[in-house]
Amino acid sequence: MAPAFTLVLALFTLVNVAVGTPLALAQNITAVTKTNIAVASSPSPSLSSPSSSASVQKKVTVLTKLAAAPPPSAVPVQKKVTVATNPAVVVSPSPSPSTSLFKVPAQRKQCEKLVERREWRTLSREEKASYIDAIKCLQSRPAVKPVIKAARSRYDEFQAFHINQADAVHVAGEFLPWHRQYVKNYEAELHKCGYKGGNPYWDWTLDTHSDQTFAKSPIFDPETGFGGDGQLFTYKLPAPVPPAAMRIDPVAFRGCVMDGPFANHTIPLGPGKYIGDHCLTRGIKEEAKEFLNTPMVDYIMTQTNFGDFRIQVEGLPITPGHRVHDGGHYGVGGEMSNFYSSPGDPLFYLHHSNLDRMWWNWQQMKPERLYEITGRSATVPPFKNVTLDYPLIMSTLGPSAVIGDVMDIHSEPNCYTYI
């Protein structure tokens, strides 16, 4: 090959990589990366179903090399991992953090007062009751202008918007910022219902090292928590074999929650994109302890750039096994296990507050991380690199924002912290 042609080809390839053009489109691809692959496919039928590979048509072999000692469920260094996907595949490394850090925003006004988000079990009995009452208030208030007409309450309206936006905000660079703004708007609605604290978080590591079963976590207490597991034979899915597009794992739907404050709650949306009244369902999995323990969290916190950190938080289908995000959804099961309709379970918001807390703690480890953002805006073309001015649309839920607005939670208009 002529030297001049070789130089032109190299420059063309470099430009393609810089703007996020797919490095490969094929049915069988072998790539070397740090587990930060982006697969343009229909992921597992459930947000966290361990048996999701059965319904796909082609396979991609990816040579995975982890940046640090892997957790128990991670892939050993240089082990070949077979990742199931559709025939149309995009496999590429995450863009480096520098590709999206065009400039750090000017110093934002720091908040004079911070709302404290605390772990659920540190709240007093009265504070817990106030939080539950505020949720019930949202479940009784009429929806404003839901994106799905079947949503009746303001609480349903939040679930409806997540159903509508899920494909756009998962497996993408905006995953963590979008959910940060989404939970912030939910917290603001709780305040309108009289709750005065910050949205609490659920630190699942406290339950994974206990001698008690996962289902015995205080979060599932019927008196001071959110009710327990689903009861067998109390719920039937809308279809015995739901379409793959619904991403429903039938095994996760053990039954209706029969105790606690939401035992009689009716959900009009879900599971998946189904519409129809049904109970709050769960199917708690003891094996979730493996994905939510301290070694897993510690491993994720060792990631050195936002792209790798976000991927290791989010989990399937872009990691070889469960991580904390999908592991938490999988561990609760039922409605919570579904990619689309999971906000039907109030535990969704405590789970995502803890993920947000993890991200904030990671941001605090180095000054340059406060505004570090990168990643593709979607899993399929057309996509671009998310930047600090990338919009986080919230529609009727509350204020929309750009990513730069939500990065520093101690600055206005965020004004909250984790303790």
- Structure confidence by residue, pLDDT tens digits, 241-253: 899 999 999 999 9
Confidence (pLDDT) at 105 = 63
Give the model confidence (pLDDT) of 191-217 as tens digits.
999 999 999 999 999 999 888 999 999
End residue of a domain, out of 63, 95, 127: 95
In a domain, 91, yes or no: yes
What mean pLDDT do residues 79-84 have?
29
In a shared domain, residues 91 and 199: no
Angle formed at CA 145 by CA 142 and CA 148, multiple of 5 degrees: 95
What mean pLDDT do residues 260-271 have?
97
In a shared domain, residues 126 and 83: no
Q: Is the pLDDT of residue 85 over 80?
A: no
Confidence (pLDDT) at 149 = 97
Q: Is the pLDDT of residue 100 over 90?
A: no
Confidence (pLDDT) at 104 = 59
In a shared domain, residues 89 and 122: no
In a shared domain, residues 221 and 267: yes
Q: Which residues of 128-138 are buried (b: 16+ CB within 10 A; e: fewer)?
A: bebbbebbbbb
In a shared domain, residues 69 and 131: no
Tell me the C-alpha distance between 318 and 170, whole Å.
10
In a domain, 102, yes or no: no
Q: Is the pLDDT of residue 75 over 70?
A: no
In a shared domain, residues 57 and 135: no
In a shared domain, residues 134 and 51: no
What mean pLDDT do residues 297-317 have?
97
Confidence (pLDDT) at 210 = 87
The total of other beta-carbon atoms located within 10 Å of residue 56's CB is 20
Alpha carbon separation from 142 to 122, 152, 292, 309 (Å, rounded): 32, 6, 36, 38
Range of the domain at 369: 115-418
End residue of a domain, out of 38, 63, 95: 95
Confidence (pLDDT) at 122 = 98
In a shared domain, residues 285 and 329: yes
In a domain, 15, yes or no: no
Q: Is the pLDDT of residue 5 over 90?
A: no
In a shared domain, residues 91 and 160: no
End residue of a domain, out of 65, 95, 125: 95
CATH assignment of the domain containing 209: 1.10.1280.10
Confidence (pLDDT) at 381 = 87
Domain count, the chain: 2
Tell me the C-alpha distance between 267 and 280, whole Å.
7
Amino acid found at 324? V
Give the model confidence (pLDDT) of 362-411 as tens digits.
999 999 999 999 999 988 888 899 999 999 999 999 999 999 999 999 99
In a shared domain, residues 245 and 355: yes
Q: Is the pLDDT of residue 320 over 50?
A: yes
In a domain, 5, yes or no: no
Tell me the C-alpha distance between 262 and 175, whole Å.
28
In a domain, 11, yes or no: no
- Nearest alpha-carbon partner for 270 in 329, 325, 344: 344
What mean pLDDT do residues 48-57 have?
36
In a domain, 204, yes or no: yes
- Nearest alpha-carbon partner for 403 in 103, 108, 174: 174
In a shared domain, residues 144 and 82: no
Average pLDDT, the chain: 81
In a shared domain, residues 46 and 122: no
In a domain, 77, yes or no: yes
In a domain, 6, yes or no: no
Cα atoms found within 13 Å of the Cα of residue 138, Cβ hemisphere only: 28
